[in-house]
């Protein structure tokens, strides 16, 4: 691990704070949901409440996913395992990058590469479905 004790301590504190932020936002959401269902009067209110609820759930899923990643990263950090090591090429991820994104599992080079591939695939898929549309129009 290419991190100093001080850097590890900073990252650990940051991740614990993030986790606390997520769990306290869960409590807030739960309170909001209760208030919403109490105030529901007619159909429009009901629809709005449903929309609000699904929006919250979406955020919550994302947060849950992030919380799980934080948990994993914290365990790794505590065990002194391969935390801060790029999963792709094995180099030490820079402290600055970890500070910005403590759950990072790839170094910036590999991450860029992966993102480029992803967007290439996306464009590939897009043009494929576009061709299909063209063919359908022509036929
Ligand atoms: Zn890498």
Q: Tell me the whole-structure pTM to 2 decimals.
A: 0.69
Yes or no: say if 54 and 60 are a contact pair by the CB < 8 Å rule.
Answer: no
pLDDT value of position 2? 79
| Among the listed residues 23, 20, 15, the one whose alpha carbon sits nearest the alpha carbon of residue 84 | 15
pLDDT value of position 19? 93
Ligand 1 centre to CA of 65 (Å) is: 23
Ligand 1 centre to CA of 130 (Å) is: 34
Ligand 1 centre to CA of 110 (Å) is: 4
Q: How does pLDDT run across 10-63, given as a tens digit for each residue?
A: 999 999 999 999 988 877 777 776 766 555 567 888 888 888 888 888 888 889
DSSP assigned state of 4 = -
Ligand 1 centre to CA of 137 (Å) is: 45
Measure CA 104 to chain center.
10
Give me the DSSP letters along 80-98: TSSTTB-TTT-PBPPHHHH
| Among the listed residues 102, 110, 103, the one whose alpha carbon sits nearest the alpha carbon of residue 11 | 102
Phi, psi of 4 (to 5 degrees): -80, 165
Ligand 1 centre to CA of 30 (Å) is: 39
Ligand 1 centre to CA of 121 (Å) is: 20
* CB-based burial, 74-106: b 16+ in 10 Å, e otherwise: bebbeeeeebbbbeeeeeebebeebeeebbbbb
Ligand 1 centre to CA of 75 (Å) is: 21
């Amino acid at each position: 691990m290419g991190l100093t004790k001080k850097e590890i301590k900073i990252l650990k504190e940051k991740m614990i704070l993030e986790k606390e932020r997520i769990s306290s936002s869960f409590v807030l959401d739960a309170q909001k949901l209760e208030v919403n269902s109490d105030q529901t009067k007619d159909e429009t209110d009901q629809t709005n409440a449903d929309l609000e609820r699904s929006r919250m759930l979406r955020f919550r899923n994302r947060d849950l996913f992030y919380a799980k990643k934080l948990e994993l990263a914290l365990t790794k950090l505590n065990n002194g395992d391969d935390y801060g090591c790029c999963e792709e090429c094995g180099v030490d991820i820079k402290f600055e990058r970890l500070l910005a994104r403590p759950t990072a599992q790839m170094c910036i080079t590999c991450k860029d590469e992966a993102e480029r591939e992803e967007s290439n695939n996306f464009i590939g898929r897009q043009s494929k479905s576009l061709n299909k549309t063209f063919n359908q129009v022509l036929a």
